[in-house]
Chain A
Amino acid sequence: MSVTTYQLKRVDLIFKNENDWKQILSKTLKRKKEDIINSLISSELKGRGGAGFPTGMKWKLTSEAKEETKYVICNADEGEPGTFKDREILTQVPHKVLTAMAICAYVTGASEGYIYLRGEYKFLQKSLYNAIGEFERYCEEIGFHFRIAIFMGSGAYICGEETALMESMEGRRGEPRNKPPFPTDSGYLGKPTVVNNVETLVHTYTIFKYGAKKFRDLGVQYSRGTKLFSISGDTPIPGIYELELGMTLSDFVEEFGDGDTKAVQVGGASGFLVPRKRFAETQIGFQGKLTGVSLPTGGSMMLFNSSRSMFNVLNNYLDFFEEESCGQCTPCRVGCQQLLKGIHAVKRGDKPAVYLNKLLKLSENMQYTAKCGLGQSVGNSFASIVENFREEMIF
């Protein structure tokens, strides 16, 4: 039997719409800024966009930055293959996102906000602008000055990376910047900027509404609260689910698998592949004491049953990275090409099986040396697939 310590729980906080945003907004704007920050910090909310940075801390740093002009950006670039949850949020509960942005602006001292909307989500633009119009009118009514604009992305995955996103907003090519400085010090137009994922913002709404404790009571240590999962692949019930963090992968597969699940890719192309033998010891969260714990990143969960070739799966991921790398840094630009070309060479027999070891070393060095999260995480899927399904790479 598995060492399950935790039962899988479905929750309904994110999409529950009680249409109370005006109330939450005016109530929260009356609170002291430090009080808001402290409650976010004590909620232990971590960013849902990928890096898992503590949200309260991000707002705090930006509020402390000594600059007149600051910005709030909602990252709705949602480019990770297999994720589609931010789209749902913006369709169903846009006011929650706008409210959270306004409160962030209040806390940090920003007066302008942007939604960086994925190019493919252009169809959302109109309804979002309607929501923004209504929202801004209410802000005026209660005497809070905050404007929100939508910035349309144009289809490059890398523009979801927060500094590439800002480069693109500034009219340049979407290439990630050097960090430090971090956006909280020098972001959009060189000004302190909070960049938060759509879902992260909605969680802050939950916290403003119910208090930090209620949020903190959900999930497990290091991984508090809930998370939206975009579940796809070999599952009878694909879709978006809000689940408490901390479940094991066994529980997850029990619920969502088709009875023949051989592996699950946790966290999309930049996440890890977990093979069946590790399901029980793998806990879904940011960090934990069990081995093989995975970061949910965008929250994509892709299930594979025994009919799937892991070589093809890896090939797809590498194809994606080879094309979506911005191309500026050597380890990522050339590394991706080498990994892709390399597995084919091994498969064809042009390179010996031990060449995979050289590629594994390369993928490890990419993790250490690439300039941004994209290149740094290519090795996640590469190593976890090659190490667990080595024979499928060769034969």
Chain B
Amino acid sequence: MNEKVNITINGVPLRVDENKTILDAAEELNIKIPTLCYHKDLCVAGNCRVCVVEQVGTNKLPAACATPVHDGMEIMTNSLKVRNARKHIIELLLAEHNAECTKCYKNGNCELQELAAEYKIINQEFMNLVADHGCTIDDFSPSIMKDDSRCIRCQRCVRTCAELQGVNALTVAYKGSEMKISTFFEKPISDVVCTNCGQCVNHCPTGALIEKNYIEEVWEAISDPEKHVVVQTAPAVRVGLGEELGFEVGERVTGKMVAALKRLGFDAVLDTDFTADLTILEEGTELLHRLKEALVDKNPDVKLPMATSCSPGWIKYIEHMYPEYLPNLSSCKSPQQMFGALVKTYYAKERKIKPENIISVSIMPCTAKKFEANRPEMHDSGYRDVDYVLTTRELAIMIKQAGIEFMKLPDEHYDRLMGESTGAGVIFGATGGVMEAALRTAYEIVTGREVPFENLNITAVRGEDGLREAKIKIENPVKEWAFLDGVELKCAVAHGLINAREVMELVKSGKSDYHFIEVMACPGGCLGGGGQPIPTDPEIRKRRMEAIYAEDMGMPIRKSHENPEVKQIYQSFLGQPYSEKSHELLHTKYLPRERY
């Protein structure tokens, strides 16, 4: 199939597949062509034109990202004509851009800034257009801020929201000089179908889409001697944070992260993995209950398949798009919110601290968790369960601000009580992880035996395919679960909301007979979350995923129900999984929302 063609780039001959673009071909020769609208996760737009190159013998300067090679093509990537045109294009972008870098959140991590620095765009003669555009800032959402004056209209966000997420909250409005990125009837992001997943933020090359940051609020809390500031860290943060602080992609920095958090001044450094394990016990038990009620008692009010509920991006998506399926969602809160509810009850009681003096902070790979913490439902401790949610990126900023030399830190351990975790908790950070952790536990509860997979690794639910299925047959269950004998448990795993839609359409059509589905809003799961380091792309997600599974393999305990602190909390506080106390603190409800 793949015909080869001969081309030259900057005089160097090259033989490449004919379906390659000029950009890909140049990469083979290690020649870098600057890009802006191009992103490895997205379809090619070819609209910024920064990647133009000279095709010798023609009058046009084609866009390298959008132009396939053909035989005999001679390309120059840095001729005078190219340089002049490219400088003009960058200059034009800057003319339309609120280029006050010192007042920009993305200062230091902005693709436009980098390009301007590279090309030394110093004499900007074109006229400034920012004032003509009457740009607006949308800061109504607790998760995401949009500043049109920083937007270069590359449409990466639009393509992200459409192609990766299938949400289409962001679209292009108007044309010509008035063209801009907007929403349904130009409503604030908080009032439309947006799921707060933050994928658009992660894919935006500039400061136009950023997370709403709470760095100053957290510094203030830390400095308040009255307050006991507790921090929890999500599973995926430990495989991403290093990228922001000098480590290679895929480096696990759990111990250094804990050490850094202690040095930042948090009073206790605890682990969301602990509540991930707790989620497994609650959710696993819920699943078994549902199976019993649906299969044996034939209760029509009990819905299958049961869907996971730990991704707030997914929750908001289903509230908007498939509200009729809300009863299918597990009633479990996300691990973050379980943690929040327990910190101001269980932890407060054990540590003898007044809950009103506790500030609970969480470090998440996620922007949707900012919204989630802000939901009115999330006050079951009697207080706001989670006070501030910071992304992986915000944590990195704080570490830099504090002057901590992260790479030289020793490895330290989480504090006790809610700091113990298992491999099962860690893999929550990867797509398929919740499913795998749940199966490890549920299978054992039902049969009294470990899941029949080598090293407990249920590889069928792992990987990068958008939608994966697995079956596991239950044989010789213990007496209590005898009705499950011979039942083949059918599971599906989807990540990226575009695939969530696919799985929901399958369920809707009645063509599927799943019992349990796991959905993570972000591609790759939380390791590819909207709050993770920028850039994130397929290769980077793959490396973070390898790191997650390596972390799992390295844990002494790899099954949630064996987590000693989890056992302890059931013993001394919650009673048993799915108990009344659990329901009060660890479970919740959802509400239908509009479709726009």
Residues on A with C-beta less than 8 A from B172 are 173, 175, 327-328
Please tell me if B129 contacts chain A, counting CB pairs below 8 Å: yes
Question: How far is B125's CA from A327's CA once the two chains are assembled, in angstroms?
Answer: 22
Contact between chains at A330 and B92 (CB < 8 Å): yes
Residues in B neighbouring A322, C-beta threshold 8 A? 176-177
Known: A328-B47, A328-B155. A323 touches B88 (CB 8 A): no
Name which of A14-22, A115-123, A364-372 contacts chain B.
A364-372
Taking the closest CB of chain B, its distance from the CB of A329, in whole angstroms, is: 5
B interface vs A, CB < 8 Å? Answer: 44-50, 52, 59-61, 63, 66-68, 81, 84-85, 88-89, 92-93, 95-96, 125-127, 129, 132, 152-153, 155, 171-172, 174-179
Query: How far, in whole Å, are A335 and B88 apart by their CA atoms in the complex?
Result: 9
Q: What are 26 of the A-B contact pairs (CB < 8 Å)?
A: A173-B171, A173-B172, A323-B175, A323-B177, A325-B175, A325-B176, A325-B179, A327-B153, A327-B175, A327-B176, A327-B179, A328-B153, A330-B48, A330-B50, A330-B153, A331-B89, A334-B93, A334-B95, A335-B92, A337-B96, A345-B127, A351-B127, A368-B81, A368-B85, A369-B49, A371-B63
CB-CB nearest in chain A for B94 = A334
Which residues from chain A contact B92 at a C-beta distance below 8 Å?
330-331, 334-335, 338
Complex alpha-carbon distance, A326 and B172, angstroms: 10
Q: Which residues of A sit under 8 angstroms from B47, Cβ to Cβ?
A: 328-330, 371
Interface residues in A312-351 by Cβ distance below 8 A to B read 321-331, 333-338, 341-342, 345, 351
In whole angstroms, how far apart are the Cα atoms of A178 and B92 in the complex?
A: 21
- A241 CB → nearest B CB, Å: 32
The answer to whether A338 and B95 have CB atoms under 8 Å apart is yes
**Contact yes or no, B95 A327, CB < 8 A:** no
Chain A residue nearest to B175 (CB atoms) is A327
Q: Kindly provide the distance from the CB of B64 to the nearest chain A CB, expressed in whole angstroms.
A: 11
- Asked if B52 and A368 sit within 8 Å, CB to CB, the answer is yes
Contact of A369 with B61 in the complex, beta carbons under 8 Å? yes
A171 contacts which chain B residues (CB < 8 A)? none
Known: A180-B67, A369-B61. 20 other contacts (CB 8 A): A158-B175, A322-B177, A326-B175, A327-B175, A327-B176, A328-B179, A329-B46, A330-B48, A330-B50, A330-B89, A330-B152, A331-B49, A333-B179, A334-B96, A337-B129, A337-B177, A338-B95, A341-B132, A367-B59, A371-B49
Closest CB-CB distance, A40 to chain B, in whole Å?
26
Pick from B61, B126, B175: contact of A324, CB below 8 A: B175
Minimal beta-carbon separation of A365 from chain B (angstroms): 5
Min CB distance B559 to A, Å, is 49
Complex Cα gap A370–B132 (Å): 23
CA distance A358 to B91 in the complex (A): 12
What separation, in Å, do the CA atoms of A329 and B85 have in the docked complex? 14
Give B124 Cβ to nearest chain A Cβ, in Å.
11
Most buried by B among A345, A369, A370: A369
Contact present for B61 and A368 (CB under 8 Å) = yes
| Identity of the chain B residue whose Cβ is nearest the Cβ of A321 in the assembled complex | B176
Whole-angstrom distance between the Cβ of A336 and the nearest chain B Cβ: 7
Which bracket fits the contact residues of A?
35 or more
Complex contact B153–A341 (CB within 8 A): no
A interface residues with partner B (beta carbon < 8 Å): 156, 158, 173, 175, 178, 180, 321-331, 333-338, 341-342, 345, 351, 355, 358, 361-362, 365, 367-371, 376
- A369 near B89: Cβ-Cβ < 8 Å: yes
CB < 8 Å A-B pair total = 118
| Cross-chain contact A341 with B93 (CB below 8 angstroms) | no
User: Provided the pairs A368-B59, A368-B81 are in contact, do residues A180 and B89 lie with their beta carbons within 8 angstroms?
Assistant: no
Task: Kindly list chain A residues whose C-beta atoms are within 8 Å of the C-beta of B61.
Answer: 368-369
* Distance in Å: Cβ of B508 to nearest Cβ of chain A: 22
A333 and B85 contact, CB distance less than 8 A: no
Closest approach, in angstroms, between the C-beta of B222 and any C-beta of chain A? 43
In the complex the two chains form, is A178's CB within 8 Å of B46's CB?
A: yes
- CA–CA, A338 to B94, complex, Å? 12
Interface centre among B44, B92, B178 (most CB of A within 10 A): B92
- Closest chain B residue to A173 by CB distance? B172
Closest to B92 in A: A334
Measured CB to CB, the closest approach of chain B to A321, in angstroms, equals: 8
Task: Tell whether, in the assembled complex, residue A365 and residue B178 are in contact, meaning their CB atoms are under 8 Å apart.
Answer: no
CB distance from B127 to the nearest CB of A (A): 5
Residues in B with CB closer than 8 Å to A326 are: 175-176, 179
Residues of B within 8 A of A358 (CB): 125-126
| Residue in A330, A342, A368 whose CB lies within 8 Å of B127 | A342
Q: Contact between A336 and B176 (Cβ–Cβ < 8 Å)?
A: yes
Please indicate which of the listed interface residues A328, A345, A351 has the most CB atoms of chain B within 10 Å of its own CB: A328
Asked if A338 and B175 sit within 8 Å, CB to CB, the answer is no
Give the CA-CA distance A368 to B92 in the complex, in Å. 15
Shortest 10 CB-CB contacts between residues of A and residues of B: A327-B179, A334-B92, A178-B66, A328-B47, A368-B61, A323-B176, A178-B46, A325-B176, A365-B85, A329-B47
Beyond A156-B175, A323-B175, A327-B175, whether A338 also contacts B126 by CB under 8 A is yes
Specify which of A178, A333, A345, A370 is in contact with B177 (CB 8 Å cutoff). A333
Give the chain A neighbours of B177 by CB distance below 8 A. 322-323, 325, 327, 333, 336-337
- Alpha-carbon separation in the docked complex, A368 to B63 (Å): 10
Which of A158, A178, A180, A325 has most chain B Cβ within 10 Å? A178
Identify which of A329, A336, A367 gathers the most chain B CB atoms within 10 Å of its CB.
Answer: A329
Distance between Cα atoms of A376 and B52 in the complex (Å): 14
Question: B204 → chain A, closest Cβ, in Å?
Answer: 16
Q: Are A327 and B178 in contact (CB under 8 A)?
A: yes
Residue of A nearest to B88 (CB): A365
Pick from A324, A341, A351: contact of B129, CB under 8 Å: A341
A residues less than 8 Å from B174 (CB atoms): 327
Q: Provide the bound-state CA to CA distance between A173 and B176, in Å.
A: 13
A328 to B171, CA, bound (A): 12
Task: Name the B residues within 8 Å of A338 (CB-CB).
Answer: 92, 95, 126-127, 129
Q: Which residue of B lies closest to A375 (CB)?
A: B49
List chain A residues, Cβ under 8 A from B49. 329-331, 369-371
Q: Given the complex of chains A and B, what is the CA–CA distance between A337 and B50 in angstroms?
A: 18
B323 shortest CB reach to chain A, Å = 25
Measured CB to CB, the closest approach of chain A to B10, in angstroms, equals: 18
Output the least CB separation between B23 and chain A (Å): 12
